[in-house]
Structure 1
Amino acid sequence: MQLPATFDGLIDEANQLDLYKKLILQLNKDFLLANIDLDFHEDILPSSLKLLLHETIYKLIQEKFTEYLNLLYIIDVPERQVKALDDKDLIILAEAVSFLILKREWQKVWYKNHY
């Protein structure tokens, strides 16, 4: 499986395979498991999804770092990828982590659908 390199690429692929709603459901499931009060509506626009996820990750990093780490653990975002990110600007870091989360969730959805 070749993972998309951009947010738009990921969303395009999810829409082409008719898996966008499953991606949202997977996000909701993992956020619930992490005990984070965030529930994306199934019909959320990709731009709204990106913005809301970015904003949530930013707040978690700043205010609830333990919950942030727990979320990354539950979603199973590779630690080496997170450590490789530049953490000097929290806004950019939150955006990059949001994309890592979406990529990992996309992997789960794709594999469940494919196999």
Structure 2
Amino acid sequence: MYKAPANIDLLISQAEEEHLYFKLVEQTNKDFALANEAIDIPLDVFPLHFKERVQEKIYKLIQNKFAEYLNLLYIIDVSEEQIKKLDGSDVVELSEQVTFLILKREWQKVWFRNKF
């Protein structure tokens, strides 16, 4: 049974424990590329840098390319309901929360593909 991790660190730990961390990075790269917002994260990236690279990209999209940001969320299939619950008053905090939602969705895809 799939149980969503409670935060990014647990998510990455779970991906590493199940030997699917590289698949998570691959899936993230693939979906960003599909949204025409290539992120090109190397597969051997350290987990902390992986999280930072994704968050930095999200922050820039929110600030400068909002339509592309919305398109990315759509392509990754992040729950609109979850996005609407977030407080957008602090863009740094918002980008951190959105990064978690994105990586949670990417992890879900990788996990299901591996299990079934």
Q: How many aligned positions are there?
A: 115
| In 2, Cα distance between equivalents of 1:80 and 1:88 | 18
Whether 1:12 aligns to 2:13 is yes
- Quote the residue 2:89 is aligned against: 88
DSSP 3-state at the match of 1:5: coil
Contact 2:31 2:76 in 1 (8 A): yes
- Quote the residue 2:102 is aligned against: 101
- TM-score calculated relative to the size of structure 1: 0.98
Ranges of 4+ aligned residues in structure 1 off by more than 3 Å: none
TM-superposed deviation, 1:37:
2.6
- Quote the residue 1:48 is aligned against: 49
| In 1, Cα distance between equivalents of 2:75 and 2:51 | 20
AA aligned to 1:10 is: L
- TM-score calculated relative to the size of structure 2: 0.97
CA RMSD of aligned residues (A): 0.6
TM-superposed deviation, 1:60:
0.1
Whether 1:64 aligns to 2:45 is no
Gaps of 5+ in 2: none
